């Protein structure tokens, strides 16, 4: 697909078919994640690709909406503050780096004809526990289903151009 078409095609999908995700598509998506830029190239992120039904069920239970359980794959993006570059003021950039990698993931999935949906409305501690990360420095930042859409996205609504950009 042409790049700008991918940007338009990517929408949040909130219901999935049980069709498996092709291995080649997953490979391409993981490579796109690996390409993501990070501050000082520290790459303080790790993506957990959860296919195992029991693990998926456990992870999906941290999110209040049941549609997440319909996806054949759930992706959990984790960040690691101890690995990340910090501003002089002291705040870690780990979640920014993980967010950029996450956007590479959703755009690559769109290119592969697969649906995703950023999910941040969950307690990080519960998500970490679901993936046995509590004793590690990895902290789940975002979740997303990955699979073929079984529903249309909600209608497209965006602010006006002049509200989101200003040419000075």
**Interface contacts to ligand FMN, rule CB under 6 A:** 11-12, 117-121, 153
H-type alpha helices, 62-139 = 94-111, 124-130
Choose between 83 and 120: whose C-beta lies nearer to ligand FMN: 120
Choose between 11 and 58: whose C-beta lies nearer to ligand FMN: 11
Choose between 88 and 97: whose C-beta lies nearer to ligand FMN: 97
Contact (CB, 8 A) for 101 and 49: no
**Minimum distance from residue 33 beta carbon to ligand FMN (Å):** 16
**Minimum distance from residue 119 beta carbon to ligand FMN (Å):** 4
Query: Which of 112, 105, 116 lies closest to 32 in space, CA to CA?
Result: 105
Residue reference for tokens 């996205």: 153
**Minimum distance from residue 168 beta carbon to ligand FMN (Å):** 26
Q: Counting every residue, how long is the chain?
A: 168
Query: Which of 123, 133, 140, 134 lies closest to 62 in space, CA to CA?
Result: 123
**Minimum distance from residue 153 beta carbon to ligand FMN (Å):** 4
Choose between 60 and 119: whose C-beta lies nearer to ligand FMN: 119
Four-CA torsion 14, 19, 22, 25, nearest 10 degrees = -20
């Amino acid at each position: 697909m042409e790049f700008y078409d991918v940007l338009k095609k990517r929408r949040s999908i909130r219901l999935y078919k049980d069709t498996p995700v092709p291995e080649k598509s997953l490979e391409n998506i993981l490579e796109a994640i690996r390409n993501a830029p990070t501050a000082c190239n520290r790459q303080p992120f790790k993506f957990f690709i959860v296919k195992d039904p029991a693990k998926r069920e456990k992870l999906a239970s941290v999110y209040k909406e049941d549609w997440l359980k319909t996806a054949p794959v759930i992706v959990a993006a984790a960040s690691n503050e101890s690995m990340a570059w910090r501003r002089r003021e002291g705040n870690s950039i780990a979640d920014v780096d993980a967010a950029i990698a996450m956007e590479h993931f959703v755009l690559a999935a769109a290119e592969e004809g697969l649906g995703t949906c950023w999910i941040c409305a969950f307690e990080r501690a519960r998500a970490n526990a679901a993936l046995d990360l509590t004793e590690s420095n990895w902290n789940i930042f975002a979740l997303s289903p990955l699979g073929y859409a079984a529903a249309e996205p909600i209608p497209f609504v965006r602010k006006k151009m002049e509200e989101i950009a200003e040419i000075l």
